[in-house]
Structure 1
Amino acid sequence: MTYLDYSEATLRSMDAYWTAKEIEQQPATWQKTYQMLEANKGKIEAFLRPVLNTKNIRIILTGAGTSAFVGASIAPAILKSFGGRVEAIPTTDLVSNPHEFFQEDVPTLLVSFARSGNSPESVAAFECAEKLVKNCSQIAITCNAEGALYKRCQGDNKLALLMPEETNDKSFAMTSSFSCMLLTALYVFCPSDAFEQHLTAAINATSALLKTYNMMLKSVAMKKFERVVYLGSGVSKGLAQEGALKLLELTDGQALSTFDSPLGFRHGPKAVVNDKTLVIIFISNDPYTRQYDLELLAELQNDQEVGQILSITAKSDPVFKQGECVMLDNMSEVDDTYLMFPFIASAQVYALQHSLAINNTPDNPSSSGTINRVVQGVHIHAL
């Protein structure tokens, strides 16, 4: 078997097997996740309908690290679809400052995203919500049936949604776990008659991207940029945050990374740009938002200070330069929420290739061993 054009033997020798496999398996796991969700559609709707019809219901999307960025990515889409109060608040904030975030008399649906469901903050956020909110419902979207969060989220006012077993990533970095939890949140909170059609487009586009642009992303990674900036608007801003973390994790901090929106980047953060900087821009399909994305792209080109720009887009434009654009197949007419899937796959591939370019070990990237797959050493204090 080969993954991302590397043989299994080569990947194992570089300690990169699981990361590469779990990136490439995503289109298949998205299809499998969708089938599982369809099989549980009645159960999901029966739970969700009365909760979302509750007056003044508040939805909090939570998780830690990459799991938190699932909520940050999907929150704008849920806000648009639901129209009520939707907030993405990391468990790390909820647990350390519970009285600032939980409101006793406000009906709340806490949606927890977690790969293992065993991190101390995941369980503590669940318990804080139960203690501090009078009318509290909970959904756990997780990849581990043996996890503490999955086991707790059973019974009245609770719903546990389990991802396919193979998405409980064995690698250090969350890849297929992130995208499948993102897909599940999109399915649950943003229903659409065209959901399957658009998901199929995302699956096909991502499969093509992994075959067509892997070598291009590898060639960019071989330049070993010291600074990488991820930019995205709306739902893509959360993806930009996840892309920045993925690179930071897989390179063990040797490649410094940051994120912003294209419009926000102009307000000071642009100072990071120099000839050792790579800027990766997720280009929106929305005609209005796209204008800001392309204006920033043109500005960076005119400044002639950046090392390289890489645009990920589903629509062509004269501003794109040859060799600096990943063009997604047959997605020019879909909503940005479905672009999230090939967008994040491109960031994951780049992070893996950059890690290999600097001779790091993607499956176990922390050379000191002080950063772990499931966070260690956190003591949860009593309320």
Structure 2
Amino acid sequence: MPDQHIPDQADGGATVLEIGQQPEAWREVAATVGAHAGEFLAPVLQRDGLRIVLTGAGSSAFIGEIAAPALRRTLGHRVEAIATTDIVARPHDHLDRTTPTLLVSFGRSGNSPESLATTDLADALIEEVWHLVVTCDPDGALSRGHAGRSRSLVVQMPERTNDTGFAMTSSLTSMLLACLVLLGPTDAADAQALARAAQYVLDRKAQIRNLAISKKQRFVYLGSGPLQGLARESALKLLELTAGEVVTYFDSPLGFRHGPKSVLDADTLVVVFASTDPHTRRYDLDIIAEIRAQLGADALTVLSTTAIPESHGPAIVIPGLDGLDDSMVALPYLVFAQCLALFASLEYGKTPDNPFPSGEVSRVVKGVTIYPMHN
């Protein structure tokens, strides 16, 4: 029987457990998240001209980048991912007074200063606004600020997903899955397939750890569409857990050629998240062949849901995801990225639960002053 967990590490702490619990956490999310949500969401989603804004700070913002393309296709509405940090800094650029808006706010704790400020700005600037709050902490400011409001729905993630480690892992993926279940194409059968796929990744921890043992100095993550949001989160996760000791970069396979490809050298590992879309996948295969020809087979790791041509080298193929959208396959791909970041953190002698022991970077951002807005 395959090992069900990432190996215990004395200094891996809660991060190890929180990465490893994701298959079961996702099953719990899929089974519970839809309760009573339809009564709130159904009439809102029928509103003509509705705009949906997916928002959060840091990793929570990347949930929106991953989910937005699938929601646009599923709902037929205008769906945009805009970080709270952008909205707070320039609210009039991002909030439209006369457009009915569903603001979907993601927050592990809901205590980031920009989180509540963004919902307050939306209330002040938009004539007709509803709030869907997806959070892991029932006692957080975002949850408490919207509890009991007629135009707000607070959806709580399972208690176990309120990660105590420094980096968001199960909190991030659970909120992403919840979004796709509540608003997108994901159903219970899809969630089960995704949970099995995540376990498949976890069972290949030795293969992932071997990538970290090489102690590369540069990591590049490439993906298109929803998978570019995934690439962005993957780069941040590795940067966080190694306390900035490695250079990380993200891009799309096509965009990478336009200058950023300059980052490649003999001490670089490139990870390509292959798309499930046949058209998009052709561009993924092109960059895979190009980088392997330039740096060699060991410089590149490919994640895919189906086999790639033998001429393009090996790939980590995650089975059981046929027919699923890139926004969904991003979930097991994220587990891979989290495992790689965890093992790289350990290889670089960091403590994953607290890679910044002197407090240069904190788990929940502090010290942000929210300034009053003047019309």
**TM-score of the aligned structures, taking structure 1 as reference length:** 0.93
Aligned to 1:6, what secondary structure does the other structure show? Answer: coil
Q: Which moved more, 1:150-159 or 1:65-74?
A: 150-159
- Among 15, 37, 48, the alignment partner of 2:33 is 37
Residues 1:360 and 2:360 aligned together: no
Render the CA deviation track for 1:220-242: whole Å, top value 9, x for unaligned: 10111111011111211111110
Render the CA deviation track for 1:111-166: whole Å, top value 9, x for unaligned: 00000001110010011111111111111000000011011123111100000011
- Among 159, 174, 178, the alignment partner of 1:184 is 178
CA distance in 2, matches of 1:165, 1:249: 24
CA distance in 1, matches of 2:355, 2:236: 13
Residues 1:334 and 2:330 aligned together: no
Aligned partner of 1:347 in structure 2 is 337
- Among 135, 141, 144, the alignment partner of 1:151 is 144
Deviation at 1:320, TM superposition (A): 6.7
Aligned partner of 2:363 in structure 1 is 373
Aligned partner of 1:111 in structure 2 is 104
- Among 163, 188, 203, the alignment partner of 2:195 is 203
> In 2, are the aligned partners of 1:276 and 1:306 still within 8 Å (CA)?
no
User: Alignment RMSD, CA only?
Assistant: 1.6
Aligned to 2:222, what secondary structure does the other structure show? Answer: strand
> In 2, are the aligned partners of 1:145 and 1:151 still within 8 Å (CA)?
yes
- Among 202, 213, 216, the alignment partner of 1:222 is 213
What are the ranges of 5 or more consecutive residues in structure 1 without an aligned counterpart? none
Deviation at 1:304, TM superposition (A): 2.9
Deviation at 1:367, TM superposition (A): 4.2
Render the CA deviation track for 1:273-311: whole Å, top value 9, x for unaligned: 111111001111111111111111011112237861000
Aligned partner of 1:86 in structure 2 is 79
**TM-score of the aligned structures, taking structure 2 as reference length:** 0.95
- Among 268, 288, 301, the alignment partner of 2:292 is 301
Render the CA deviation track for 1:242-288: whole Å, top value 9, x for unaligned: 00000000000001111111111111111111111110011111111
Corresponding letter in the other structure for 1:118: N
Report the number of matched residues.
370
**Counterparts of residues 54-93 of structure 1 (less than 5 Å):** 54-93=47-86
Aligned partner of 1:6 in structure 2 is 7
Q: Which moved more, 1:361-370 or 1:373-382?
A: 361-370
Deviation at 1:341, TM superposition (A): 1.4
Corresponding letter in the other structure for 1:133: I
What are the ranges of 5 or more consecutive residues in structure 2 without an aligned counterpart? none
Corresponding letter in the other structure for 1:36: T
Moved over 6 A (4+): none
Corresponding letter in the other structure for 2:207: M
CA distance in 1, matches of 2:343, 2:311: 23
